[in-house]
Amino acid sequence: MNSDTTEKSQSNKLLDTLVRVLVPLVRLMIAKGVTFQTASELLKRIYVKAALDHFVKDDATTGTKLSLLTGLNRKEIRRLTTEAAAEKKPGDMISYAMAVHTAWRSGRRWRDRDGNPKMLPRHTSGRKGTFDDLVRSVTTDHRPSAILEELVRLGHVVEDDAGRVGLTNPEFLSLREFSDRLVLLGDNLEDHASAAVLNVLAPEPFFLERSVFSDELSHESAEALAQIATEQWKRVHDVMFDRSVRAEKEDISEARTTDTRIRVGMYFYSESKDKK
């Protein structure tokens, strides 16, 4: 088999794989009224961004190279690289609210003897262990009152008559705003896809990416396994959160360069085998 045939075979296999990956995302777009024309324009921008981020480095012939890499003509390249179109970036408030939620559930200081998140005084003067202290242990970029307002809006926190605040949901998931759920979808799928792509492109896989598959189960068994996965994830989550907090403090104390980020995730999915 010559190199051209091998390249074509690899491209066909890649396209077959992309169909499987993209169908759920296209389902979401159709469900929310995103037309092909809109998706096509978005894909052009993504092609240019990916090429600029990963394949073009300080090249004097950037326009020509982008055209060759993406298949877009140079007129389109000029439009897409010079047009003043603001990128859609989700606000970071949700990320900070999620971080506070995580610290509240996972940090020993914020849990009772049974391991459950404590009810916290709002901001009692001269008293340690308040909600404001919790927020400031995570970020000083936003006021504790703003984080509290966001958590209340998302349905994760309630405040009682005594001025104490408590968690209402064990997992961080917006119950009110569709856009908040998209933040989680984007964060998780982007990093999962990045790990999977690098595992394909690299000489050998170097990111953890494993799963368990079974297709001879009843619906009841699938539900029971989903519960086990949730319980195991909580264990992994709490250990990783505790270790990462300690590692951040050690890196700072040792004056190490802190230019690396991580994301550790887990997913569970089930459906009827007859579903197509």
Q: DSSP string of 44-72?
A: HHHHHHHHHHHT--S-TTHHHHHHHHH--
Domain that holds residue 153: 93-167
**In-domain check, residue 252:** yes
pLDDT, mean over the chain: 86
Mean pLDDT of 209-221: 94
**In-domain check, residue 60:** no
**In-domain check, residue 215:** yes
**In-domain check, residue 223:** yes
**In-domain check, residue 88:** no
Q: Determine whether 105 is exposed, middle or buried from the number of CB atoms within 10 Å of its CB (0-12, 13-18, 19+).
A: buried
pTM of the model: 0.67
- Same domain, yes or no: 104 and 163: yes
With beta carbons less than 8 A apart as the criterion, state whether 127 and 174 touch. no
Please give the residue that has the higher pLDDT: either 124 or 38: 38
**Helix, strand, or coil here: 159?**
strand
Rounded CA Rg of the chain:
23
How are beta strands 120-121 and 164-167 bridged, if at all?
antiparallel
Residue 182 banded pLDDT, cuts 50, 70, 90: confident
Number of structural domains found in the chain = 2
Last residue of a domain, one of 135, 152, 167: 167
**In-domain check, residue 243:** yes
**In-domain check, residue 23:** no
Last residue of a domain, one of 167, 199, 224: 167
Model confidence over 225-264: pLDDT tens digits? 999 999 999 999 999 999 999 999 999 999 999 999 999 9
**In-domain check, residue 222:** yes
Q: So what's the pLDDT on residue 82? A: 81
Please give the residue that has the higher pLDDT: either 161 or 211: 211
Instruction: Give DSSP secondary structure letters for 88-145.
Output: ----SHHHHHHHHHHHHHH-GGGB-TTSPBPPEES--TT-SS-HHHHHHHH-SSS-HH
The residue type found at 176 is R
Last residue of a domain, one of 108, 141, 167: 167
Q: Please check the confidence at residue 119 and state whether its pLDDT lies above 80.
A: yes
Instruction: Tell me phi and psi for residue 167, to 5 degrees.
Output: -75, 145
- Same domain, yes or no: 98 and 162: yes
Take residue 117 and report the two structure tokens written for it. 């998140």
